[in-house]
Structure 1
């Protein structure tokens, strides 16, 4: 109820901060030992990756793992000028898993193509083995069905990512009873006029039902911290104004934030960049004491 009361007040005004100036997007680079046409193969599927030129084994970089929406593809993700520009400004890799059947088979989804959690674990392990990517500095993000996939990774695989930035997605019915801990930061963006994935969710003709964003936040929240929300004064999008609130009283230091805009079902790469700058840990050398995590 506290979240819904805030929503009514939040729509009265939007807070805007100019984003960084536009830069020329980087072009996709071929991955080590990965087929040009199909990308990098793992047991359950494939993915594509774009590395910044400065990446090396002596200087591993962070990464954004971005999950495409329904009927999207990894190829479309790694050729998206906005996402490439964000990766270039941040100096990070862009990792794009490919959905089986151009969709995702998370709990509640109409698709039943594969075990997505096993697949994501395979991708993370393969990236760590092949590329100079710091496994402790990977942000999971995605749009629409990819946003819902990001929610489920935050719930089921929180230790494999440093932060989560879902856009226009949520848990699906039946909602998870609980989520594994601890909770890394999660920054969610959603349009209040979104009719494709409404804030309250909706039933589909297949019989599946999208979940409620506010109920999803209550489930993912560490220590029941959705009871009180404090308004923030920063967003990073010129193209769409955001109103953002951060949950207070959370156990630990995990950031839980909801950002709303007045538009519909779409995504701005600047929102992913903002999430990275707010939530990601600083880079530090890898050591034997901080070796990469293994698959769940």
Structure 2
């Protein structure tokens, strides 16, 4: 009986180790609908930043941005980097089903499942989740925030907005912080045509207008502007309760800029005024 008990305990230890081993890069955490990578802080019950990769990339590549990932971890956040299901190009890269007409995996449900799975495996806080993403991941962030605004606590797209025609309305107010490069030629601020004119990236400022309407902001002009090197920031505060909207521009091109992680976490952690 003692030997049997020892065998059971041993199997439990092995199972627990196998379950948590996916937290050690470069091993992905596997789920029925996909996978994600994770980087953990030292403290338990940590809040979460879910960061969505750009088109042609994957979750493992997000983890290679050690400057960003380590900045988030130093602030006490777990970083989750899921991989999109949509095949992009002829290589192994992936993208996201962000447009309503795209077929395939329900990305909102998948990202909810990713957070629930990680919270269970690694003792994380599923109520304190910032959904961020770059380029195509930024498009995914905007569309998810628009269609299912209560899914996560806040949203932080980088270099990605809406496509034309953009949604006429969104599901409800959100906390959203948009970051964009002034010299971005891949996702220009004014948008551009792709696929010989079949597709059109939207105007970032038109998207912000939609968010101001969604958040019931009292005026189009920002409540405040500030230059906090290297970011030029515009904030709208005369908006509905529990919402927030801010834009940060930087002089660079299509990238997640240095300093982004601390800037957006400062914003995320700031108590709402209203």
TM-score > 0.5 by shorter chain: yes
Distance verdict in 2 for CA 1:224–1:46, change over 3 Å: same
State the partner residue of 2:252: 263
Cα offset, 1:233, TM superposition: 3.2
Gap regions ≥5 residues in structure 2: 1-17, 88-93
Question: Does structure 1 residue 245 correspond to structure 2 residue 237?
Answer: no
Give the 4+ runs in structure 1 shifted more than 6 A: none
Query: Deviation digits for residues 29-71 of structure 1, max 9, x if unmatched?
Result: x96263866512223211111111222xxxx111111011111
Tell me how far 1:195 sits from its aligned partner: 1.2
SS in 1 for 2:30: strand
Structure 1 position 203 matched with structure 2 position 193: yes
Contact 1:108–1:208, Cα closer than 8 Å, also in 2: no
Map Cα deviations across residues 158-214 of structure 1 (whole Å, 9 max, x no partner).
Answer: 22222211111101122112112242x211111222111011111101622111111
Give SS of 2:172's match.
coil
The structure-2 alpha-carbon separation of the partners of 1:38 and 1:225, relative to structure 1 and needing over 3 Å to count, comes to: farther
Residue 4 of structure 1 is matched in structure 2 by none
Question: Following superposition of structure 1 onto structure 2, how do residues 8-27 of structure 1 map, counting pairs within 5 Å?
Answer: none
Aligned pair partner of 2:22 in 26, 34, 52:
34
Is 1:212 matched up with 2:203? yes
How do residues 16-165 of structure 1 correspond to structure 2 at under 5 angstroms? Answer: 32=20, 34=22, 39-55=28-44, 60-100=45-85, 101=87, 102-107=94-99, 112-165=103-156
Q: TM-score, normalised by structure 2?
A: 0.80
1:87-125 CA-partner distances (Å, limit 9, x unpaired): 23211101001012311111168x644221221122122
Give the gaps of 5 or more residues in structure 1: 1-29, 283-296
- Contact kept, 8 Å, 1:162 with 1:281, in 2: the verdict is no
Contact 1:226 1:248 in 2 (8 A): no
Q: Deviations over 1:205-224 (max 9, x none)?
A: 16221111111112223004
Deviation, structure 1 residue 79: 2.8
- The Cα RMSD (Å) is 2.3
State TM-score, norm by structure 1: 0.75
Contact 1:255 1:279 in 2 (8 A): no
Q: What is the aligned counterpart of 1:166 among 157, 166, 171? A: 157
Contact 2:72 2:261 (8 Å CA) reproduced: no
CA distance change for structure 1 residues 160 and 78 in 2, over 3 Å: closer, same or farther? Answer: same
1:178 to 162, 169, 173: 169
Find the aligned partners of 1:223 and 1:121 in 2 and give their Cα distance: 27
Inter-partner Cα distance in structure 1 for 2:23 and 2:73? 23
